[in-house]
Amino acid sequence: MKYESWISYRYLTAAKDRFLWIINLISIAGIAIGVMALIVVIGVMTGFDQELRDKIIGTNAHIVIEKETGIADYGAVQDTIKNLPGIQGTTPYIHGNVFLEADGRAMGLIVRGIDPATESTVTRVNEYWADGNLATDLKEDTILIGSQLASFWGYTKGDTLTVISPVAGTASKSWRHPLQVAGIFTSGMYDYDMNLVLVPLKTAQEIFSFPPSLVSGIAVKLDNVYDAPHLKEEIYQKIGFAYVVRTWIETNQNFFAALRLEKFAMFVILTLIVLVASFNIVSTLIVTVTSKIKDIGILKSMGVPRSAIRRIFTFSGLYIGCVGTFWGLIGGVALSLALKKYQFIKLPQEIYYIDRLPVILQLGDLLIIVGSSLVISYLATVYPAAKAVSLEPVEALRYE
């Protein structure tokens, strides 16, 4: 150990100056609390982003292909794009709004008509249906509803509900469509589980008076969700610009942009905790410099260079910053893992879309937090170290 490091360590750990020892502990605790708060909050924000991204992508397609008047030749379009590299599956769908009539009341619902045979190749709806299977159990004139909707109205499997079509009926077709509940799915997102219902493609065509060959669009699943912008261009090259092709990124860009901005804002706000704690380092080092004037004078009179004096007090501040950052890192990771494992904080699902506090720790985030803390700790040493260097030996020893 170089003598500068040894002297710095002795200044911090010498117990005879109890006041200086206490403010050292306060400085360490301040840094530790700031780092711990940063790790937990950034972990929660990352968890929210990832959890909501998975829920949205799991219920929706990575890319959708639509046309203003609907797609009549959807089979041909599917055949055209299904062999493109990176495309895992395609399925047609019909999307629209209906009213659910029950007990003399009505509420709006989003109806998605799906092909039960191919829907599971694009979305995770089949996984959300615990006691059923899309391919075998979702048949004509049946409906799959979300768990929140079922709980709100008291529906169970086998019940019959009535949906009212926004399309005018004819002599042979009514506005009202009685459908039997084939099952109940749980996606984990309140909005979907309350407002989204699924019916077979043929039933949706009857509800919205579509001819048998017409659908609203084609849903596409990719091998890599982040290849969506590139594959969008390839799809356009294959099918032409008479269609509208949208990626999941475009559909939810405002939502995810808001999450990223919120995460950055929380990082900046909580970094201020570490910044405030760094003032304790400044005050600690100033007190140390003031109390060690004699020592500084002796060292300089012995020929210790100014750069070594600067390093002594810089190391003192960095020791405080490193110890505080270390314990903050340990505490933040431990608390985050406890939140993730035991989930002792529950959330109102109708507000936050998910029912628990998600936590995801990423190495990149941890490195940025630790690096920021150490940089702030170093900057806090600049003035006190410069003050120590500026002392002259004669002035330091004048009254000794």
So what's the pLDDT on residue 335? 94
45 has a pLDDT exceeding 90: no
Q: Which residue has the higher pLDDT, 180 or 386?
A: 180
Give per-residue pLDDT as tens, 317-352: 888 889 999 999 999 999 999 988 888 777 776 566
Q: How far apart are CA 361 and CA 306, in angstroms?
A: 43
pLDDT at 358: 85
% the chain with pLDDT above 90: 32
- Residue 384 pLDDT more than 90? no
Tell me what pLDDT residue 65 has: 94
**Which is higher by pLDDT, 249 or 15?**
249
Q: Mean of the pLDDT values across residues 49-74?
A: 85
- Span 171-188, mean pLDDT? 80
Domain range summary for the chain, segments of one domain joined by +? 3-55+255-397, 87-222
Helix ranges (DSSP H) in 245-392: 248-251, 253-291, 293-301, 306-342, 349-352, 363-390
pLDDT at 52 over 70: yes
Average pLDDT of the residues of the chain? 85
For 158, phi and psi rounded to 5 degrees? 100, -15
pLDDT at 171: 41
Per-residue pLDDT, 354: 67
What is the distance of C-alpha 278 from the center of its chain? 29
pTM of the model: 0.74
pLDDT tens digits, one per residue of 260-270 = 888 888 888 88
The pLDDT confidence band at residue 280, using thresholds 50, 70 and 90, is confident
Q: In whole angstroms, what is the distance from residue 245 CA to residue 228 CA?
A: 10
Q: Which residue is associated with the tokens 């529950």?
A: 346
